[in-house]
Structure 1
Amino acid sequence: MMGGVTQLRRIVAGLVPVIALFAGTAPAHADLKLCNRMSYVIEAAIGIDDKSATATRGWFRIDPAACRVVLQGTLTADRILLNARALGVYGTSPLPQNGSDTLCVASDNFVIAAARQCRTGQTPAPFTQINPTRADDGNLVAYLAEDSEYDDDQARLAGIQRLLVIAGFDASPIDGVDGPKTQAALAAFLKSRGLAPDFAQSPNFFTTMVEAVQAPSSAGLTWCNDTPHKVMAAVGTDDGKTVVSRGWYRIEPGKCLHPDVTGQPRRLFSFAEAVDAENRTIRFKDKPLNWGGDSQLCTRESKFEINEQSECGNRGFSTTGFAAVDMSSGGKTLRFAMPR
């Protein structure tokens, strides 16, 4: 990759979410469901470890404050394991990806019968063992939570606030607490989409919000991926005093994404590159397929937010060429396309 750039994951908005799996002992005689008490729309994959065989299945999309059944019927497996990721609209996954087991997953919906030996189109991912508890309805349940320890109502509101901010509506801070600022941002978003005020209570509301932040916008910076490859991007902001570089953001093929730029920076910078399933830079005509420029900013392979841009190499960072973005018209869409 250019400048040694690869991508792992990124902490979003200063929050360090964790998967909280409320352990306990319960007989495995019911459906298993996952409940999301995070402020992110997540996708989950499960691993089923039964004696000498291990299978994986995913992805199960779960909105904030929602639950989803991921296994039905009597559970006879020796162990149940979990991997979870946030949607690409949040940048890279804010979930800490670690676990004692490495199992195979695929980029799209999948069922893998022998999940310890990855084949073409499959990649290894860390899975964590979970110990679900029995819920009041008789099902087994495992909760995904973050450090803020939201309840369901708070998780849903924080999830709405987070997507409003990404879409360019000021609903900060993202804290799950309702107030005039959040309500004003929500009303402005609904009006911009021609939606009724009560649409926010619709079960499809998060889907609508995710689609909104994956479409070009007339305000702020928008990245659009017109290639058949996954694109990883980083943004730089200059407020006149400090230049901050931040990444990585994952942009799926055919999708757009708005980096979460707050305030009114004087200048913006952008760098992006196409990567394969193993996060290796795609090469086109023997050159890295990337989109940058002459402004040298600091980056690193994993998630980063760097406030000082001098002597990148001496501080253990890579130096990467970003392009300056002309924001004089109030909004700018950068489209990443295959070279002719």
Structure 2
Amino acid sequence: MSRTSTSTLRLLLLAGALLAGSSPALADLRMCNTTGSRVGVAIGYRDAQGWTTEGWWNIAPRACETLLRGTLAARFYYVHAVDYDRGGEWTGKSVMCTRNKEFTIRGIEDCLARGYERAGFFEVDTGEQKSWTIQLTDTTGGAPARP
């Protein structure tokens, strides 16, 4: 998977409970791709057994996918996303393990020594909500917004 960081991709975070038309009683971590490109998404989180990274969810343009079902177990989730059509990525300072194909990886240490790749993930603070939706956008300018 080729990755570049030349595009001016930005993200917009929204609380799933605040989205118009969202179902009440659902508790999930969702990702909405508001761009005109196909994106691949990997997530990282810490649970009772330690750190886990999972991927890839392929999300069509202007579509949403549920990444984790049920009440969120953590306050912070970490996301790395790749724009398949135009290049570029959504990345951050938290380094975690990934692979080029579907994966679930336990632990974030020694990625290369264990045969994995290293990628930067951006942090999403859910504010301890029971559900959350992350929206990826390709707008330029301005800092990421939070509810």
Which SS does the other structure have where 1:116 is aligned? coil
Match of 1:11 among 6, 11, 17: 6
Q: CA RMSD in A?
A: 3.0
Structure whose residues are more often strand by fraction: 2
1:63-212 correspondence runs (5 A) = 63-87=60-84, 89-90=85-86, 93-97=87-91, 99-118=92-111, 119-132=113-126, 139-147=131-139
What is the alpha-carbon distance in structure 2 between the residues aligned to residue 106 and residue 31 of structure 1?
24
Instruction: Provide the C-alpha distance between the structure 2 equivalents of 1:78 and 1:10, rounded to a whole number of angstroms.
Output: 27
Q: CA deviation at 1:24?
A: 9.2
- Pairs within 5 Å for 1:1-340: 9=4, 11=6, 16-22=8-14, 30-50=27-47, 53-87=50-84, 89-90=85-86, 93-97=87-91, 99-118=92-111, 119-132=113-126, 139-147=131-139
What is the CA–CA distance in structure 2 between the aligned matches of 1:30 and 1:39, rounded to whole Å? 27
Distance 1:24-1:66 versus aligned 2 partners, 3 A rule: closer
Change in 2 beyond 3 A, CA 1:10/1:56: closer
Please, what TM-score do these two structures have when normalized by structure 2? 0.73
Equivalent pairs counted in the alignment come to 130
Q: Identity of counterpart residues, as a percentage? A: 26
- Could you give the per-residue CA deviations for residues 258-302 of structure 1, whole angstroms, max 9, x where no partner exists? xxxxxxxxxxxxxxxxxxxxxxxxxxxxxxxxxxxxxxxxxxxxx
- Which residue matches 2:144? none
- Judge conservation of contact 2:3–2:82 (CA < 8 Å) in 1: no
Structure number with bigger Rg: 1
Amino acid at match of 2:106: A
- For normalisation by structure 1, the TM-score amounts to 0.34
Taking the aligned partners of 2:11 and 2:125, their CA distance within structure 1 comes to 12
Q: Structure 2 stretches of 5 or more lacking a match? A: 19-25, 142-147
Distance 1:51 1:117 in 2: 20
Q: Shift in Å at residue 8 of structure 1?
A: 5.4
Q: Which runs of 4+ in 1 moved over 6 A?
A: 23-26
Q: Does the aligned pair in 2 maintain the 1:102–1:116 contact within 8 Å?
A: no
